[in-house]
Amino acid sequence: MNTKPIIISGHQPAYLPWLGYFHKMLMCDIFIYMDDVQFIERGFIHRNKIKTGKGTDFYLTIPIQKKERSNKISDIILEDNDFLKKHWLSIANAYKNSFYYKVYKNDLYTLFNSNTKNLSDLLFDMLLFFSKVLNISCKILRASDLDFKLLKSDLLMEHMELFNGDILFCGTLGKNYVNVSKFYEKKMMVEFQNYNHPVYNQRFFDFIPNMCILDLIFNVKPELLQETILHKNINKQDLKRKYDEYIRNYN
């Protein structure tokens, strides 16, 4: 029997994820890297935004082979790796004068010179790097290694049952498909994320929210990264207290 609630969360792979992605990881004990679901073109799986010297956002997009676009994310093959070097040049031009660019420059240069051909593998390597930078301690598991069978709400139930989860920390869009009553029947709590984006010191004109993770780590002190992501948002201890109340009132 669990002595403390186990929090499960997950998300599809994302290229240089936004802050809300890492908030989910900071909230959970087990994070499912959901690379076994359908690839969605022109979404944040293979593109994201940086802030340029003109004070505008700019999309970096990973090109993939056209024949692969209807497949699961884990099957997606890159068109080539030349885009990585081009993306790195765009990133360097935008952020080379940011306060903390040099802290991460060498490690990121290595990541952006990868020869990996599989999209999921590339994004997983990047996710592990950013998780280390942010001092994230949750266990990260790849769904493609776990052979899940179901979809949507039932898939999330699979996650919970496999790892004896007590709390499902779910993205806001989960409200459209998660059958909360089924989780309640199994004495599991569902909490939907409602992420409040922090404002931090950002170069170039007015603050623009929802940039990729690079914008945060280049502009904020390393020791303040977690605090910034969690600012004015629920934290893990708050969620566990909500679960304690949930169990006390459970009928």
Please give the pLDDT value at position 1: 41
Please give the pLDDT value at position 160: 97
Please give the pLDDT value at position 167: 98
Please give the pLDDT value at position 149: 87
Separation CA 215–CA 203 (nearest Å): 9
Please give the pLDDT value at position 68: 61
Q: Where are the domains of the chain?
A: 7-240
Residue 133: both structure tokens together = 């930078």
The CA-atom distances, in angstroms, between 46 and each of 84, 197, 206 are: 12, 22, 26
Q: Is 0.75 surpassed by the pTM of this model?
A: yes
What distance lies between CA 144 and its chain's CA centroid? Answer: 17
Going by the DSSP 8-state scheme, the letter that residue 216 receives in this structure is: H
Q: Which residues contact 20 (CB under 8 A, 6 or more apart)?
A: 193, 195, 197
Separation CA 186–CA 41 (nearest Å): 35
User: Residue 168, exposed/middle/buried by CB under 10 A (0-12, 13-18, 19+)?
Assistant: buried
Sign of CA dihedral 198, 171, 69, 131: positive
Strand partners, 30: 8, 139
Please give the pLDDT value at position 72: 92
pLDDT tens, residue order, the chain (251 aa)? 446 899 999 999 999 999 999 999 999 999 999 999 999 887 899 999 999 988 899 999 999 987 666 689 999 999 999 999 999 999 999 999 999 999 999 999 999 999 999 999 999 999 999 999 999 999 999 999 998 988 899 999 999 999 999 999 999 999 999 999 999 999 999 999 999 999 999 988 899 999 999 999 999 999 999 999 999 999 999 999 999 999 999 97
Q: Can you spell out the DSSP letters for 74-115?
A: GG-BBS-SHHHHHHHHHHHHHHTTSTTHHHHHHHHHHHTT--
